[in-house]
Amino acid sequence: MKRIISVLIFTFIILTSVTALTSCGNNTESNSGDKKETVTIAVPNDTTNEARALLLLEKQGFIKLKDGAGITATIKDIVENKNNIEFKEVEAAQLPNVLQDVDYAVINSNYAIEAKLNPVKDSLAIEDSSSDYANILAVKEGNENIDKVKVLKAALESKNVVDYINEQYSGSVVSTVDNPSDGYDKDVDYDKLKETTISVAASPTPHAEILKIVKDILAKKGITLDIKEFTDYVQPNKVVDSGEIDANYFQHQPYLDDFNKENGTKVVSVAAIHVEPMGLYGGKQSNLDALK
């Protein structure tokens, strides 16, 4: 009987200890002894954009990543999380929709703009413009120098497009074209391309909007630009790789590199056009006090 009682007491002690440990998951102890509530932050769930979001949070001093964690960092690479942040990994396009349910969300500018958020005015923190994340014009490998692609590239690198980006987006989208042209490639015989259609897969904002300027430039030479809008990050590369569509304009180089590696596709960049700084937006929180 005494042995049974001893076993029961030992079991109770073990269970009590485990309960005490697991209950600490949602709170951290501050230096003053007060418990710090969990802060929820939604981030993109694709590899490169999640890393980009984490790097932004690290730069703000909210987390610390392990040494060497760069543009492929994940939440597993976080080595310091004093703010007791709980991360919600969400498909990038859905981040504006879950913003109201979390304290904060790190959102790509194209999706922020679609959701009527101004990246410059509404974000609580925003990354610096970086060429590593310039949005690119991409085509199937082997098609980099065909005339269709050359005229599309020239039009996207035009002064008309640069001016449109600067005027329309006021800093929430930034052109990366250093020497804008008149929109035409002097080495291409445009007469031979009359009545030709060029198809481009693009996300609605800002890519499809920018391509409307390109469409006007090409129309002056009798070339039709067919803009196919996609709301996901998968199909635009697949339809270019298959040859169904001539080019796409929606992604940055790190994302494309990761996509090719994971899917065996052969899509390559031919031009860097603009940067969309990623921002941290408040959901349940209206300021950064919960992270200080």
In order of 64, 104, 163, 191, 282, the CA distances from 288 in angstroms are 17, 9, 34, 57, 8
Please give the model's pTM, rounded to 2 decimal places: 0.79
Strand 78-80 relative to strand 64-65, pairing: antiparallel
Nearest alpha-carbon partner for 200 in 162, 160, 159, 240: 240
In a domain, 51, yes or no: yes
CATH number of residue 43's parent domain: 3.40.190.10
Contact 107, 53 (CB under 8 A): no
Residue 68 or 235, more confident: 235
Residue 8 pLDDT > 90: no
Q: Model confidence over 186-196: pLDDT tens digits?
A: 999 999 999 99
Residue range 149-177: mean pLDDT, rounded:
96
Instruction: Give the structural domain span for 91.
Output: 21-128+278-291
Q: How many domains does the chain have?
A: 2
- 52-79 pLDDT, tens per residue? 999 999 999 999 999 998 888 999 999 9
Residue 5 has pLDDT above 50, yes or no: no
3-state secondary structure of 249: strand
Q: Which residue has the higher pLDDT, 147 or 26?
A: 147
Lookup: tokens for 287: 């300021």
Question: Of residues 11 and 123, which shows the higher confidence score?
Answer: 123
Are 164 and 34 part of one and the same domain?
no
Confidence category of residue 34, pLDDT binned at 50, 70, 90: low
